[in-house]
Chain A
């Protein structure tokens, strides 16, 4: 095998194609690096920082860092797990996440990450921000209370749908998901079938009139932790 890059993740040898990121190479090798904003079909963004690993001792986001020959990557260490736990907790307290009556519960990647990391309650105080709900669109609900600013919808609309429905406005704690219209989502060209609607990891963008079509208890992360698919595929190949 020429033209491939060799490096290690937690001591395990991994091979990557040139141009692949650490995260992509890890996925292919069956090593799950926790992540939230990264999405297979979208260009990496590097916002949530949950996938932060150590590369030759220095922190890097695995989703944006290209793999390079001889890299020593640490991912599943107590130190990194602790940083990731804190980042996930920050995302919880920053918004208004009401898991117990959110339609996304069980399919939500933020919730699933919390379960995987054994987070029952965040150690940080809830910030209880005032955020707008935009229910103007006939088929899609936009509830900014649950937005984690991952930019998946922003990217999917541009990169997969060929539109520009979403973008961020404001900065810092006031950074907000906004829509390409003077007022609201109904004024954009968003279609309910757009990929931008599917990729939301949380319950911020929801299809209307589809509540609980899959009952709680039979949802994606009700049965196994997030990342299991990647690990299972790796185990199958390794066997």
Chain B
């Protein structure tokens, strides 16, 4: 065994003992030693000259990082409702039985750990799991048994991949069984563009002209918030600072979203091209792709594409022969934290810290990564940028609807014939989409993921665009057999787990919302609960510090507004003298057992 002190110091030295690279350092230590032990934390803190508790704080924040040893193989089962609908619970039971552990435990020989994890971006091929970095899809109880047998035999998750997926999923650097499931290509994102074509056109203009083109195209951010991209770039360009950054948010964690996975797999060149154009426009030399930890399996391919672009003169110094224009991109790997999709949390994470959001103002355009002006944009947004520079802003602005130019990628999952990725012009109705994906007997659609809205058939005529049904792209379809209250409970569980805990309303409020929905599911709900949920949701939305808490109650509120009868059916006025949540029999059980007789007043 190598001396851990030596190894940790070496890892820290690779990152120049720079505390802002703590995430990379921790990930490297963990991949070598299986965890970041107390001793390792001391050593990292020493090497970087930071307090030990700062290292501990970062390690403890991310669900893929651990300070205790886990199995050499970690099976992470996707816990989202779509996976459950397609049979995850029996699969989980089979894993538990064959491994002889419960979810959350490690086998006695220290070989395999079994865990739940929120959406891994594979809802179109559910149920799915991550086994270390290897994705396994379309799970069944039989496959679960085979997986355990193979892991027991070889201990190597890579041996679980027998048939490779399509496109770059079969690339030697990926070798994944993942399928792209591209169902409908549009003219903007899912279309070919020779590397460098858009960039050369951009470099023939001045940076200010590039920003003007993006503003003329009226491109809005594709991550969900819909902020005008040109304006964000302009603010970043105008902000004072010698060092500026372009960051691509590839932390798509909204349950039911997987369109960025497909872009990263097949259209990464387009995205990198958009980032490079952004660097030119705002005056940044450095770019970061923040890649969610769940997509670590794509990292070797992405690194390779970056290198090819460097070799082709599309990254580095004097790009495309443009003297003085310098730009390069590094990949920052996340480690399992949904909140890091929030742009200021993402910045904290890139800086090596817990993924706490930052106070605004100042906004990232003024003071972002390491205090420097930073533009954070979505994967799909950068693809749009490259296309706009290639085809012109007028071409782009004519696609889609008035307030929402361009196309949108939708990640469609759940009860439909053809789950997958669809690129449509903005403004199509939900009904059109549902028809194309082969959805029948639809009870409800979760538009925009759990932080979006749950809508019923009376909303199917509405348009998918910023001014009507806005969405970052997640479309989850539930037929009439699904229990919507249970689905809302799953979503609240997700938010409660993923809250960073910084502010009171999100940290406590989501737990309280979850408790109440659970009571209702256990038939302990009373009519007063509707009011309780409304009030509590209002405060969580109103007072939360970032987008997570400001949107997490949407799932409850849309259930209350759009499906009041579904909830009311489960509520009943308290029968006796007690609150519906109070179970007198349970409360008396211990006493009755101790005194050896049942209560006289409250006899069963």
Contacts and interface: CB of A to CB of B under 8 A. Distances in A.
Interface in A144-181: 149, 164, 166-175, 178-181
Nearest to B59: A169
Contact of A180 (B51, B355, B509, B543): B51
A194 B184 CA distance: 63
A15 B545 CA distance: 26
B194 interface: no
Nearest to A58: B542
Interface stretch (B102-110, B450-458, B466-474, B496-504): B496-504
A221 B542 CA distance: 29
A167 B498 contact: no
A127 interface: yes
Contacts of A5: none
B61 A64 contact: no
A170 B501 CA distance: 8
A124 B514 CA distance: 12
A116 B509 CA distance: 22
Most B C-beta atoms less than 10 A away, residue of A87, A170, A171, A174: A171
Interface string A25-55: 0000000000000000000111111101000
B505 A173 contact: no
A178 B535 contact: no
Nearest to B357: A46
B359 A48 contact: no
Interface string B270-286: 00000000000000000
A138 interface: no
A61 B496 CA distance: 22
Contact of A168 (B57, B503, B539, B545): B57
Interface stretch (A89-97, A99-107, A204-212, A228-236): A89-97
B543 A87 contact: yes
B63 to A, nearest CB: 9
A52 B542 contact: yes
Interface in B44-63: 51-54, 56-57, 60-61
A169 B53 contact: yes
A90 B542 contact: no
B53 A167 contact: yes
A169 B497 CA distance: 14
A93 B511 CA distance: 11
A83 interface: yes
A83 B500 contact: no
Contact of B337 (A48, A166, A171, A179): A171
Nearest to B500: A171
Contacts of A181: 52-53
B504 A49 contact: yes
B2 to A, nearest CB: 22
Contact of A44 (B42, B354, B359, B509): B359
A13 interface: no
Given A49-B543, A83-B543, A93-B508, A171 B499 contact: yes
A49 B511 contact: no
Contacts of A90: 504-505, 508-509, 512
A62 B502 CA distance: 16
Interface residues of A, number: 42
B507 interface: yes
Contacts of B56: 167, 169, 178
B507 A182 contact: no
Nearest to A175: B501
A66 interface: yes
B53 A166 contact: yes
A238 interface: no
A137 B157 CA distance: 47
Most A C-beta atoms less than 10 A away, residue of B339, B512, B544: B512
B53 A179 contact: yes
A18 interface: no
A125 B53 contact: no
A44 B545 CA distance: 13
Interface string A49-74: 11010000001010011100000000
Most A C-beta atoms less than 10 A away, residue of B337, B498, B503: B503
A173 B53 contact: no
Given A87-B505, A127-B511, A180-B53, A169 B539 contact: no
A170 B54 contact: no
Nearest to A188: B53
A219 interface: no
B38 A49 contact: no
Contacts of A17: none
A124 B501 CA distance: 18
Interface of B: 38, 42, 51-54, 56-57, 60-61, 337, 339, 354-355, 359, 361, 496-505, 507-512, 515, 532, 535-536, 538-539, 542-545, 581
Given A59-B542, A169-B61, A173-B501, 4 more contacts: A168-B57, A171-B354, A173-B507, A178-B57
10 contacts: A47-B503, A49-B543, A94-B511, A125-B581, A149-B501, A149-B507, A169-B53, A171-B499, A173-B496, A182-B38
